[in-house]
Amino acid sequence: MTTIAAPLPRGRPRGIDLSRPVMLGLAAVLCVLIVLPVSQLAWHAVVDRDGAPTLENFRRLWSDPAFVEPMLTTLTLATSVSVACCVVAAPIGWLVARTDLPFTGVVRALVMASFVTPPFLGAVAWEILAAPNSGLLNQWYRSLTGAGTDEYLVNVYSMGGLIFVIACYTFPYVFVLVSNALDRIPSDLEDASAILGGRTWRTAARITIPLALPALLAGGLVAFLQAMILFGSPAILALPAGFHTMTTKIWSLFQYPPKPGLAAAAALPLLLITIVLLRGQQWLMGRRGYTVVGGRSGRPRPTALGLLRWPALGLCLAVLACSVFLPYGALVKTAFSRVPSQPVSFDNLTLQHVRFVLFEFSGTRLALQNTFLLGVLSATLGTGLALVVAYLSGRRAVPGHRTLAFLATAPVSIPGIVLGVGLFLSYTRPPFVLYGTLWILLIAYITIELPAAYQQLQSALKAVHPELEEASRILGATRLQALGHVTAPLLRSGVIAAWCFVFIGTMRELSAAIMLFTADTKVISVVIFDLNESGDLGAISVLGIAMLLITFAVVLLVNRIPGLGGWRPARPGG
Amino acid sequence: MASVELAGLTKRYGALAVVDRVGLRIEHGQLVCLLGPSGCGKTTTLRLIAGFIEPSEGEVRVGDRLVSSAGWAMEPQKRNMSMIFQSYALWPHMTVAGNVAYGLELRRLDRETIRRKVQAMLATTRMDAYADRYPADLSGGQQQRVALARALVVEPETLLLDEPLSNLDTNLREEMRFEVRRLHDEYRYTTVYVTHDQAEAMTTADQIVVMNAGRIEQAGPPEEIYYRPRSEFVAQFIGGTNILRGKGLDGRHLSFAGRALRCSGADVPAGGTIAVSIRHHDIRLLAAPPPGAENVLEARIARQVFLGSVRDYLVEVADGTQLRVVAPAEHSIESGSPVWLHLPPERCRALAG
Amino acid sequence: MHGTKFTRRSFLLASSALGISVLAAPLAALPAAAPVTPQLIEAAKKEGKIVWYTSVDLPLAQKVAQAFEAKYPGVSVRVERTGAERVFQRIGQEYSAKIHAVDAVNSSDAAHLLVWKREGILAPYVTEDMAKNYPPEHVDPDGMFASFRATLSPIAYNTKLVDAGEAPKSFKDLLDPKWSGKLVKSHPGYSGSTLTATFQTARDLGWSYFEALSKQKVMQVQSATEPPKKLSLGERAVAVDGVEYVFLQLIEKGNPIAIVYPSEGTPLVVGPSAIFKNAPNPNAARLFHSFLFSRECQQLIVDAGGLRSFHKEVKDKEGRTPLAKIKLMKEDAEAVEKQVEEIKSKYTRLFKV
Ligand SMILES: Nc1ncnc2c1ncn2[C@@H]1O[C@H](COP(=O)(O)OP(=O)(O)OP(=O)(O)O)[C@@H](O)[C@H]1O
Ligand SMILES: [Mg+2]
């Protein structure tokens, strides 16, 4: 081989084309993350213990009232929560985004606080507040009205109570979607109505609110799905109330002797409902030209509320009292009380729970450590993965990018508890034996949070016009340089938001963890759940408060990383 | 130095050929305008030249280097080109000076040189006062000039502009047209300029390439395109025109509204239907029939509009065809009055196909 | 099997040194009792920790752990506390995945020990106390487990909400409509004590009792340690079940609770302990096991925990009703094990959760 090298095929690029390996590698990662557990579920649902095909599981599912009832309960619950969230969040979103409501910053921060609160912690707090007899609210009610010992104002151990408590910690999703959409509606659209003679209220009713409708719809859907797949709150509140939801039912199937096949079969309806709903939403959104939202314009002109400003603020604070003030008050009180149901007094004051959790209880340190480690790792890896997928699909950089995008959003339709089952089935036997390690929890968290991170980064990437990158490339930058110099800095706030989102999600997550933890891999949410099982409210309160402090500290820290906020995001040109 | 040559250039999305067998040679130092209606494939052609997308068929050569061929494109950063985007694509996180300096930094010039060049370029584009501003704080025209400065400071061999003036108001647009031309003349790079505004093309281009539905309809210097459009599309698109349809009588005449009209341009085949184009201001309006003149038609004024320097008439000839005529503003002819139209034979261009 | 060899050697050493041939087991099959030797303590310290899965109330479990840590500094105890049924489920899950995380276990459902013994995952280990101070029927003939604790599943009421005269005297009394909506009860799906109690009650009173009870709007909680807590909060007036030791702890802390030993007999719940063959910390597990059955620890769980002990030298605490004076239901772990699934599914059908 001495002569000239064989001529390169004409028109072939020199050097290796990295897009194919990258694509394949990512597809493999996503398949392992998503396809593996789901296929394991599907497989176990249709075979019996000896591996012979059977439809017995499904037959039982449809005929046994022990499954039909929880299904109906779950649907009622999810629908009610969704409606409640929309009814509460839409007005608050509008007030905050579009009116001259005072203290909007405070309101937004408090909504964030309710978002950060794990739903199961909220449920415990509301147990302390609204258990029919020992609940603080009911005690006050009785002492104020002189009502008999059997009478109560509110009962958290009921369907209504469960709906209320779930809605308290789900409405922030709707709020964020609605207020963001309202923030982005160009004020010229409102001005156009005003110029035609539309008065303030009329403009709001005819222009602003209809334009925010798709966001509201999307929010309602998210709330529905969240309520449907939630495990912690029903496990804490529904059982004492005497009913099951699908998630608690699936969980109970793992009592001895475990019935993974039945659990898998029971999980599939949840999956189907989610997929149908998401499709329906796409169809509904695709039909109307709602993409107007996102034009260029100055700051929206706030609607003047006039005398209604203060009552409006009162309304917001009343809602936030339910999700933040009252529950946290109850937790703090319980953390430092001997008997949580007795009034605050010097006698009743104690540090015993703090001491117990921090110094005596041997599980605390490990769980804190695990939770923190998993939070940081899942947030970092999950955001990284989501970023790559968002970039490849957003810029259509590789063939098959659609499939990637689909895989990255697919976990939305997998309830945590179902994913937990699937992962358990997948990773307890060779070739992947990960059960018992933190890896399996990491995989679960990344999978669960991937869609949210992907969505966030995808929309952040949309705001970065591809021409910004191309402008850099034509001036001599390679793809990577363009990414580093232009895309990355412009995405930074989006990336940080996604990171925090995943981190918070990991701290809140209980449903998959409850299936996957072992002694060495316990996380705080599971510890809290265990403590609740034996009724140790004081310890739960201390742990819950500690967990929130950590979450807040991390989120604040991440947002303070130097170099942020140096520029105002803007879209030059059209 | 670097001419740009497109040969059989085709880009398909699915079955649709968005750019269809485009062949074009641009000499070094020329400014060529790609002109055509929205969606005709101008941007796509430009992006093919830049190397952001690969052709489905055909080639792009710069100088005598092959830079794109079917399914392959040399990476954009290796082409020594610059581009100004429809959206300007200024980086919002960098100052004006930062934006302009970026290309030079990629070329690893030393700090001092970069500073000097940026300074000079900002002065040329009259943006030196804004060096430390962020793009979001600039007006559209200023942003446009920063985009220009950023593209030019690297002294590219080829400059690509994609409707750079479409976001500007009329006055600024006219001013910037000459600016683009001035800078082009100053630096003498090869420029491909995309626009759908014919006046912009007329005033800036050495060559105009009229595109329609992915194909080149006609290419040539502005005057040729204007005076000798080869197709109805070009005639209509450039400057506005009247199209007269009639039966060919012999090589030079056609029958229209009961008269024989002599025309120039392509041959008029006897017996076939043919289209003839005559521009609005090439038709003369006469109050009385001129004795013995050829190419005169009787008509009535349907309506008239005063446009300041001229009047725009709509007239109707015997067979009901309406024609537009632009005449000096001084004399007004009332609606409904009979008039005579003189269509000078050398202005009546028979169109091929 | 490094650990096994080591122990056998240390055991031989110890027994010959101390000459405790007296310990020759009263039952022929029972393995010889192993004393706590300095070597064992040393080896345990090397391992440094022991993981204990238990269903005993968490604060009490922590007290036991701390007492052990105080006695043997350098060996820390990690307490993993959940309901017995979940402990069982988790060990099953973990062992099926070949994860050996647990060293020692204590369950309130004696049937679990039978299953584990049958599966061959327990390690035989007879401590000196077991051999000397325990009734033979409370030590497994193969030395695989022994009764670490016992408790009852009585009825209890909140004395502020219910007068002593009004209080129920028997299980049947609970079916009185006046208790509708005032009862709290734990769940056999989660709690081993409750499973055992449910078995005994259903056997002695029939399932018709539970059927009637399910119509009383019972508040359903998971663990058998929870009804006492709900009672002390005043959330419900009467607890249908719940473990006696938590009731006793709360009463002795001054909570307004009174226990009723029902006239039909009170379910007896024995909670055996065992160590695992594949324990990650085998020596620490043995040391811990020895400690659990020592007089010191047994007295602790009686005094501080309110549990019942079978240790001969352990004294009941003042003011508690001695076991001898209570009519007990008969314990039958083997029958429980056979009926687990049936009990749970019947219960779920009745109580809907
Ligand atoms: N990536 C793509 N996939 C499919 N179709 C495309 C793609 N890019 C462009 N097209 C289509 O190709 C046609 C030409 O697009 P192009 O952007 O080149 O038009 P243009 O002449 O620049 O129009 P305008 O003046 O509006 O900018 C359009 O019909 C467009 O929809
Ligand atoms: Mg274009």
**A253 CB within 8 Å of a chain C CB:** no
Cβ proximity of B82 and B151 under 8 Å:
yes
Cis amide prior to A257 (ω within 30 degrees): yes
Closest residue by CA, ligand 1 atom 6: B13
Q: Band of the pLDDT at A333, cuts 50, 70, 90?
A: very high
Q: Judge if C136 and C253 occupy the same domain.
A: no
Tokens encoding A448:
């669960």
Predicted confidence at residue C130, as pLDDT, reads: 94
Buried b (16+ CB within 10 A) or exposed e, A353-378: bbebbeebbbbbebbbebbbebbbbb
Closest residue by CA, ligand 1 atom 14: B41
Angstroms from A49 CA to nearest CA on chain C: 15
Q: Judge if C346 and C310 occupy the same domain.
A: no
Bridge pairing between strands C49-54 and C104-106: parallel
Q: Do A424 and C93 touch (CB under 8 A)?
A: yes
What percentage of chain C reaches a pLDDT higher than 70?
92
Does residue C14 lie in a domain region?
Answer: no
pLDDT averaged over every residue in chain B: 89
From B74, B87, B138, residue closest to A574, measured CB to CB: B87
Closest residue by CA, ligand 1 atom 18: B41
Q: Do A10 and B106 touch (CB under 8 A)?
A: no
Residues 230-259 of C with CB under 8 A from A: 230, 232-236, 255
Q: Judge if C118 and C180 occupy the same domain.
A: no
Q: What is the distance between the alpha carbons of residues B326 and B336, in angstroms, rounded to a whole number?
A: 17
DSSP secondary structure letters along B65-90:
EEEEETTEE--GGGS-EEEE-TT---
Name the residue with higher pLDDT: A203 or B144.
B144
**C57 CB within 8 Å of a chain A CB:** yes
Predicted confidence at residue C195, as pLDDT, reads: 93
Average pLDDT over residues B172-176: 81
Q: Do A341 and C234 touch (CB under 8 A)?
A: yes
From B75, B92, B102, residue closest to A572, measured CB to CB: B92
Lowest mean pLDDT among A37-51, A75-89, B113-127, C315-329: A37-51
Edge-first strand order for the sheet with C257-260 is C219-220, C183-185, C238-239, C155-158, C257-260
Does residue C6 lie in a domain region?
Answer: no
Closest residue by CA, ligand 1 atom 3: B13
DSSP secondary structure letters along A81-129:
HHHHHHHHHHHHHHHHHHB--TTHHHHHHHHHHHHHS-HHHHHHHHHHH
Predicted confidence at residue B5, as pLDDT, reads: 93
Lowest mean pLDDT among A294-303, A330-339, C39-48: A294-303
Tokens encoding C203:
């056997």
Angle at B314 between CA B312 and CA B317, to 5 degrees: 145
Count of CB atoms situated within 10 Å of the CB of A151 = 13
Pick the residue from chain B with its C-alpha nearest to A473.
B77
Going from N- to C-terminal start, the domains of chain A cover 54-288, 351-574
Average pLDDT over residues A332-353: 81
Distance in Å, CA A469 to ligand 1 centroid: 19
Bridge pairing between strands C76-81 and C257-260: unpaired
* Fold held by A351-574: MetI-like fold (1.10.3720)
Predicted confidence at residue A2, as pLDDT, reads: 34
Predicted confidence at residue A44, as pLDDT, reads: 83
Tokens encoding A146:
């002189």
Q: Band of the pLDDT at C9, cuts 50, 70, 90?
A: very low
Nearest to C304 by CA among C104, C61, C127, C106: C61
Nearest to A419 by CA among A441, A390, A389: A441
Q: What is the distance between the alpha carbons of residues C108 and C171, in angstroms, rounded to a whole number?
A: 22
Predicted confidence at residue C180, as pLDDT, reads: 92
Q: Which atom of ligand 1 is nearest to the CA of B47?
A: 18
Q: Judge if C259 and C293 occupy the same domain.
A: no
Does residue C323 lie in a domain region?
Answer: no
Q: Judge if C238 and C346 occupy the same domain.
A: yes
- Ligand 1 within 6 A of B13 CB? yes
- Ligand 1 within 6 A of B196 CB? yes
Q: Do B91 and A468 touch (CB under 8 A)?
A: yes
Q: Do B82 and A11 touch (CB under 8 A)?
A: no
Average pLDDT over residues A499-521: 88
Chain C residues in contact with A535 (beta carbon < 8 A): 221, 223, 225-226, 229-230
- Ligand 1 within 6 A of B19 CB? no
Predicted confidence at residue B193, as pLDDT, reads: 94
In which residue are the tokens 């006469």 written? B286
- Ligand 1 within 6 A of B43 CB? yes
pLDDT digits (tens, 9 = 90+) for C103-125: 999 998 898 999 999 999 999 99
Distances (CA, A) of C175 to A446, C164, C213, C216: 50, 18, 6, 7
What percentage of chain B reaches a pLDDT higher than 70?
99
- Ligand 1 within 6 A of B178 CB? no
| Contact partners, residue A103, CB within 8 Å, separation at least 6 | A313
Taking CB atoms and an 8 Å cut-off, how many pairs form between chains A and C?
Answer: 137
Tokens encoding C251:
């009463």
What would the CATH number be for the domain defined by A54-288?
Answer: 1.10.3720.10
Q: Do C234 and A536 touch (CB under 8 A)?
A: no
What letter represents residue C194's amino acid? T
Distance in Å, CA B19 to ligand 1 centroid: 9
Range among B127-131, B257-261, C30-34 rated most confident? B127-131
What letter represents residue B174's amino acid? E
Q: What is the distance between the alpha carbons of residues A214 and A111, in angstroms, rounded to a whole number?
A: 21
Residue C244's domain spans which residues? 152-267+337-350
Angstroms from A262 CA to nearest CA on chain C: 14
Q: Judge if C23 and C86 occupy the same domain.
A: yes
Q: What is the distance between the alpha carbons of residues C204 and B338, in angstroms, rounded to a whole number?
A: 120
Nearest to A220 by CA among A76, A114, A86: A86
Residues 177-206 of C with CB under 8 A from A: 181-182, 187, 189-190
From A242, A531, A533, residue closest to C83, measured CB to CB: A533
Name the residue with higher pLDDT: B11 or C254.
B11
Pick the residue from chain A with its C-alpha nearest to B66.
A11
pLDDT digits (tens, 9 = 90+) for A195-248: 666 666 666 677 777 778 888 888 899 899 889 989 999 999 998 888 999 999
Q: Which atom of ligand 1 is nearest to the CA of B40?
A: 21
Q: Band of the pLDDT at A161, cuts 50, 70, 90?
A: very high
- Ligand 1 within 6 A of B44 CB? yes
Q: Judge if C136 and C177 occupy the same domain.
A: no
Pick the residue from chain A with its C-alpha nearest to C103.
A519
CATH number at C204 reads: 3.40.190.10
Q: 3-state DSSP call for residue C257?
A: strand
Does residue C10 lie in a domain region?
Answer: no
Chain A residues in contact with C77 (beta carbon < 8 A): 362
Q: How many domains does chain C have?
A: 2
Q: Judge if C143 and C278 occupy the same domain.
A: yes
Does residue C161 lie in a domain region?
Answer: yes
Q: Do B150 and A475 touch (CB under 8 A)?
A: yes
pLDDT averaged over every residue in chain A: 81
Q: Do domains A54-288 and A351-574 have the same CATH topology?
A: yes
Distance in Å, CA B41 to ligand 1 centroid: 6
Q: Judge if C165 and C247 occupy the same domain.
A: yes
In which residue are the tokens 């495990």 written? A231
Q: Which atom of ligand 1 is nearest to the CA of B211?
A: 21
Q: What is the distance between the alpha carbons of residues A178 and C269, in angstroms, rounded to a whole number?
A: 56
What percentage of chain C reaches a pLDDT higher than 90?
67
Average pLDDT over residues B132-157: 88
Q: What is the distance between the alpha carbons of residues A537 and A125, in angstroms, rounded to a whole number?
A: 9
Chain C residues in contact with A133 (beta carbon < 8 A): 233-236
Taking CB atoms and an 8 Å cut-off, how many pairs form between chains A and B?
Answer: 101
Q: Do B93 and A470 touch (CB under 8 A)?
A: no
Q: Do A573 and B102 touch (CB under 8 A)?
A: no
What percentage of chain A reaches a pLDDT higher than 90?
27
Q: What is the distance between the alpha carbons of residues A143 and A138, in angstroms, rounded to a whole number?
A: 9
Q: Do B70 and A470 touch (CB under 8 A)?
A: no
Average pLDDT over residues C213-236: 91
- Ligand 1 within 6 A of B279 CB? no
Bridge pairing between strands B349-350 and B264-265: parallel
Expressed in angstroms, the distance from the first to the final Cα of chain A is 57
Q: Judge if C140 and C288 occupy the same domain.
A: yes
pLDDT digits (tens, 9 = 90+) for C191-208: 889 999 999 999 999 999
What percentage of chain A reaches a pLDDT higher than 70?
86
What letter represents residue B20's amino acid? D
Best mutation site among B19, B43, B48 for ligand 1 pocket (most ligand atoms within 8 Å of CB): B43
Expressed in angstroms, the distance from the first to the final Cα of chain B is 38
pLDDT over 70 (residue A11):
no
- Element housing B61 (H / E): strand B57-62
**A149 CB within 8 Å of a chain C CB:** yes
Q: What is the distance between the alpha carbons of residues A454 and A389, in angstroms, rounded to a whole number?
A: 7
Predicted confidence at residue A287, as pLDDT, reads: 53
DSSP secondary structure letters along A358-401:
III-THHHHHHHHHHHHHHHHHHHHHHHHHHHHHHHHTT-STTH
What letter represents residue C130's amino acid? M
pLDDT digits (tens, 9 = 90+) for A49-85: 777 888 888 888 888 888 889 999 999 999 999 999 9
Nearest to A389 by CA among A467, A471, A475, A447: A447
Average pLDDT over residues A445-456: 90
DSSP secondary structure letters along C128-171:
HHHHHHS-GGGB-TTSS-EEEEEEE--EEEETTTS-TTTS--ST
Average pLDDT over residues A545-570: 68
pLDDT digits (tens, 9 = 90+) for B277-326: 898 888 988 888 887 778 888 899 999 888 888 899 999 998 888 999 99
Q: Do A490 and B92 touch (CB under 8 A)?
A: yes
Cβ proximity of B57 and B8 under 8 Å:
yes
Largest Cα–Cα distance of chain A, in whole Å? 105
From A244, A257, A340, residue closest to C353, measured CB to CB: A244
Lowest mean pLDDT among A67-71, A155-159, A180-184, B230-234: A180-184
Chain C residues in contact with A435 (beta carbon < 8 A): 93-94, 97, 99
Closest residue by CA, ligand 1 atom 4: B13
Count of CB atoms situated within 10 Å of the CB of A294 = 13
Torsion of CA C88, C94, C96, C100, to 10 degrees: -110
pLDDT digits (tens, 9 = 90+) for B43-59: 999 999 999 889 999 99
Count of CB atoms situated within 10 Å of the CB of C172 = 15
pLDDT over 80 (residue A21):
no
Q: Judge if C165 and C207 occupy the same domain.
A: yes
Cβ proximity of B349 and B228 under 8 Å:
yes
Chain A residues in contact with C89 (beta carbon < 8 A): 254-256, 258
Angstroms from C337 CA to nearest CA on chain A: 11
Q: Band of the pLDDT at B119, cuts 50, 70, 90?
A: very high
DSSP letter, residue B29 = T
Nearest to C110 by CA among C351, C312, C336: C336
Predicted confidence at residue A570, as pLDDT, reads: 33
Name the residue with higher pLDDT: A484 or C7.
A484
Angstroms from B291 CA to nearest CA on chain A: 58
Q: Judge if C133 and C212 occupy the same domain.
A: no
